[in-house]
């Protein structure tokens, strides 16, 4: 068992304090409590609460099994067997089934309302022994000398202040990136930028049969759109576009959102009889990363560490995977301090691996050459199976996809050279989009 923390003049004490009760924080709290640590999770909101990011990957399923919540998730989810891509520059839609990936053992995932999914995870953390406190916002952190832990200052909804002494701190605060901002570690992603608008519709036209739960990705002139069917009949619709295009908005966020949908005829057709039943939310540039993932007595997990782009629905899977690895690292740091450096090094490697592998495709997803590869796939040298493995989130295990992915990237570069003029135009446009963010942020 973890050794006792020396008494201090704080309100509360624990081995590990987790900031944030999303998939990242709840998973970490569950795992650490199961390992026998005293865990406190502080969540600023009250569950259920709205969150975007409703599409899970097949690689999430084994993690849900390990947490013991798969049956609960199945009860609230729409089964997702694959994905489809629709391009206005091609005369067909391209459908991919996860069952065709390299590893055939993970053929499906689920689309979920995040309010329901996140509540399942946080309640599970409480059942497994973590102290879960909602409506409590962390305001400040004082790190103690010599890696002795931290003092966390928080405020309850009713204005009461409270402090915790913890031996280890986990930042799973999502896009709030509490420690990333406090330590000035958060940095705009210099290789990618995008903005998003999103809302929920009823009455959207879905695919039939087994493909009803497919996520649909629509390209259009200014980026791409998502179509995520949920089990209650609601459909999540999002528009991801360049920040400079979002800046052209002269009307309300809702009106601009509907205008973007109209610019994509294939999406507009699916929504012709649909009704918008939620507010439309908008985010500015939301691609970022922190320049480190950990310190001697803290970790940054999930979106608190990095977020790139939701096009491949990787966010929840990367968050939960980082928590499994993070919990193991924290357990080692607390029980075997002499092995902490090696454990944190392994954790850092895992944290960088996921965003790196997805980012290569994300940075190029709106490039004409990449669109052509998605819309006209070939399984030569098993490259399609390898790509599907990435789309399924199967990038951490022993599935031998890496040689085929190198071949796929080589095919991409050769095709780009063969269409050099188009490639240069796409490169110039991308450079403009990134430079626009740099210039506007600099002016601000």
Query: Measured in whole angstroms, how far is the alpha carbon of residue 403 from the centre of its chain?
Result: 26
- Structural domain for 426, as ranges: 364-443
Q: What is the CATH number of the domain that holds 268?
A: 3.30.9.100
Q: What is the mean pLDDT of residues 70-78?
A: 97
Residue-wise pLDDT for 396-418, tens only, equals 989 999 999 999 999 999 999 99
Q: What is the CATH number of the domain that holds 30?
A: 3.50.50.60
Integer CA distances (angstroms), 359 to 75, 289, 355, 362, in order: 32, 12, 6, 5
Residue-wise pLDDT for 374-385, tens only, equals 999 999 999 999
CB 366 within 8 A of CB 224: yes
CB 33 within 8 A of CB 331: no
Predicted pLDDT at 309: 85
Query: Is this structure's pTM higher than 0.85?
Result: yes
In this structure, is residue 50 part of a structural domain?
Answer: yes
In this structure, is residue 6 part of a structural domain?
Answer: no
- Helix (H/G/I), strand (E/B), else coil: 13: strand
In this structure, is residue 4 part of a structural domain?
Answer: no
Q: What is the mean pLDDT of residues 229-256?
A: 93
Q: What is the domain count for the chain? A: 3
Cα four-point dihedral sign 45, 35, 179, 186: negative
Q: Mean pLDDT in the chain? A: 92
One domain for residues 224 and 246? yes
Percent of the chain with pLDDT over 90: 81
Integer CA distances (angstroms), 212 to 4, 362, 415, in order: 53, 25, 33
Residue-wise pLDDT for 94-153, tens only, equals 999 999 999 999 999 999 999 999 999 999 999 999 999 999 999 999 999 888 899 999
Domain boundary among 259, 283, 307: 283
Task: Say if residue 200's pLDDT is above 50.
Answer: yes
More confident residue, 19 or 397: 19
Distance CA 308, CA 303 (A): 9
Query: Out of 25-29, 214-218, 421-425, which region has the weakest mean confidence (pLDDT)?
Result: 421-425
């Amino acid at each position: 068992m973890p050794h006792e923390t020396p008494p201090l003049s704080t309100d509360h004490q624990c081995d590990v304090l987790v900031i944030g009760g999303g998939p990242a924080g709840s998973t970490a709290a569950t795992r650490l409590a199961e390992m026998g640590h005293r865990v406190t999770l502080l969540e600023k909101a009250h569950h259920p609460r709205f969150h975007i990011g409703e599409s899970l990957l097949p690689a999430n399923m084994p993690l849900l099994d390990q947490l013991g919540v798969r049956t609960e998730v199945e009860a609230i989810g729409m089964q997702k067997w694959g994905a489809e891509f629709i391009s206005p520059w091609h005369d067909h839609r391209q459908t991919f089934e996860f069952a065709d990936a390299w590893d055939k053992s993970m053929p499906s995932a689920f689309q979920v309302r995040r309010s329901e999914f996140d509540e399942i995870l946080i309640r599970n953390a409480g059942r497994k022994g973590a102290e879960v406190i909602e409506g409590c916002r962390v305001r400040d952190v004082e790190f103690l000398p010599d890696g002795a832990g931290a003092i966390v200052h928080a405020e309850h909804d009713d204005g009461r202040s409270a402090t915790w002494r913890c031996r280890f701190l986990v930042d799973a605060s999502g896009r709030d990136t509490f420690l990333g901002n406090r330590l000035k570690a958060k940095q705009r992603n210099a290789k990618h930028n995008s903005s998003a608008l999103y809302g929920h519709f009823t009455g959207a036209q879905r695919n039939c049969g087994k493909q009803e739960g497919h996520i649909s990705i629509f390209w259009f002139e200014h980026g791409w759109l998502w179509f995520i069917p949920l089990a209650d009949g609601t459909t999540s619709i999002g528009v991801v576009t360049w920040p400079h295009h979002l800046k052209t908005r002269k009307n309300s966020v809702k009106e601009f959102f509907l205008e973007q949908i109209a610019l994509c005829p294939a999406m507009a057709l699916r929504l012709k009889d649909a009704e918008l039943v939620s507010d439309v939310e908008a985010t500015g540039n939301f691609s970022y990363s922190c320049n480190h993932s950990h310190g001697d007595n803290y970790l940054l997990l999930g979106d608190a560490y990095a977020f790139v782009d939701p096009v491949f629905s990787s966010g929840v899977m990367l968050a939960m995977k980082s928590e499994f690895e993070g919990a193991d690292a924290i357990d080692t740091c607390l029980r075997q301090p002499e092995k902490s450096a090696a454990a944190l090094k392994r954790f850092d490697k895992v944290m960088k691996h996921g965003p790196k592998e997805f980012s290569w495709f994300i940075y190029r997803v709106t490039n004409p050459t990449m669109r052509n590869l998605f819309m006209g796939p070939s399984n030569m040298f098993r490259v399609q199976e390898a790509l599907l493995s990435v789309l399924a989130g199967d990038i951490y295990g022993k599935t031998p996809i890496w040689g085929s992915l190198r071949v796929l990237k080589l095919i991409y570069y050769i095709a780009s050279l063969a269409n050099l003029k188009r490639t240069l135009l796409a490169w110039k446009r991308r450079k403009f989009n990134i430079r626009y963010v740099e210039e506007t942020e600099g002016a601000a």
